[in-house]
Amino acid sequence: MPRVLTALGPLGAETSQVDGEGRHLAIPTTAGASALVDAVRALDDADVVIAELALRRPSLDDVFLALTGRKSTADEEADGDGIGGRPAGRRARERSSA
């Protein structure tokens, strides 16, 4: 992974995210598909064998997280984290019984 990060440094690897096993790397970019071409060239020059390479467009949740620094309310409720730390289902039952 250190060779990969060094090779991809000019493409924005300093803002990259490495998975827990250190086998997958995600690099945010605004360059679109041309970033893939640059990444392949840089990795080839560094003699790094590529197992998989993909371009993923950001979801609305990704954009919300980037702009606000927090998950959307829908994500929190799906995770079971409601407002005030209560599960989302409990709030719904409290409203219906009031």
pLDDT tens for 17-50 read 788 777 788 888 888 888 889 999 999 999 999 8
Q: Which residue has the higher pLDDT, 65 or 75?
A: 65
Q: Are 79 and 72 in contact (CB under 8 A)?
A: no
**Helix (H/G/I), strand (E/B), else coil: 1:** coil
DSSP code per residue over 20-88: TTS--EE---SSTHHHHHHHHHHHHHTTPPPS-----PPPHHHHHHHHHSS--HHHHHHTT--GGG--H
Length of the chain: 98
The reported pLDDT for the residue numbered 80 is: 55
* pTM (two decimals): 0.56
- Show me where the domains of the chain are located: 2-45, 60-97
